[in-house]
């Protein structure tokens, strides 16, 4: 029996919380509709809940690490109070994008560095894991390390460049639909493992 566990990798801005650009004010932190209920359910499946977030505001000097850490503490406290859950980890890319918006580092999504680092730290089975995000950069980051991906279609994603790595397994208009899809996939996985 494998000691590895699956994870749900979660983008922060525009996916878990409302996208307020470069925000570090806890008073402006608002969860996306349905996110709390979905994560509460998913946490019962023994999935590690791991935040993976590009934060170029650090490199650009819009806020510092202390301010950002304060926002993360408020986020963690809100999840505990509203859903009785905690994130297993928060992976942050503090770098600015390179030319043409592509990563200039190994961690900025669509590069998979944050997911790979978390997998090594927490014994994550990437092939059984999912990433959810509101852009195709999130989808690509997941595919690059073997995860399955769901695009939360909030309207944030513009057309951009296309490739097979940027095709999600599913697209969901909201967290309720996303949760139902993942629940179905999880049940199928369990049934397949029991049958095998």
Q: Please list the active-site residues.
A: 11, 13
Bridge partners of residue 54, in order along the sequence: 93
Q: What is the CA radius of gyration of the chain?
A: 16
The count of other CB atoms within 10 Å of the CB of residue 63 is 17
CA-to-CA dists, residue 59 to 39, 95, 109, 111, 180, angstroms:
30, 5, 15, 17, 37
Helices (H), 84-111: none
């Amino acid at each position: 029996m494998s000691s590895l566990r699956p994870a749900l990798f979660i983008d922060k801005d525009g996916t878990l919380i409302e996208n307020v650009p470069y925000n570090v004010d806890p008073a402006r932190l608002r969860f996306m509709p349905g996110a709390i209920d979905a994560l509460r359910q998913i946490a019962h499946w023994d999935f590690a809940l791991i935040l993976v977030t590009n934060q170029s505001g650090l490199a650009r000097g819009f806020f510092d690490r202390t301010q950002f850490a304060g926002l993360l503490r408020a986020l963690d406290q809100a999840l505990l109070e509203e859903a009785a859950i905690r994130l297993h980890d928060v992976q942050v890319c503090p770098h600015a994008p390179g030319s043409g918006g592509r990563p200039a580092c190994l961690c900025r999504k669509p590069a998979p560095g944050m997911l790979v680092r978390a997998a090594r730290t927490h014994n994550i089975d990437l092939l059984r894991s999912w990433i959810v995000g509101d852009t195709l950069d999130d989808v690509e980051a997941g595919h690059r390390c073997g995860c399955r991906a769901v695009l939360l279609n909030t309207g944030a994603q513009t057309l951009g460049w296309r490739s097979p790595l940027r095709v999600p397994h599913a697209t969901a208009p909201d967290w309720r639909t996303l949760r139902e899809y993942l629940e179905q996939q999880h049940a199928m996985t369990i049934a397949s493992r029991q049958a095998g």
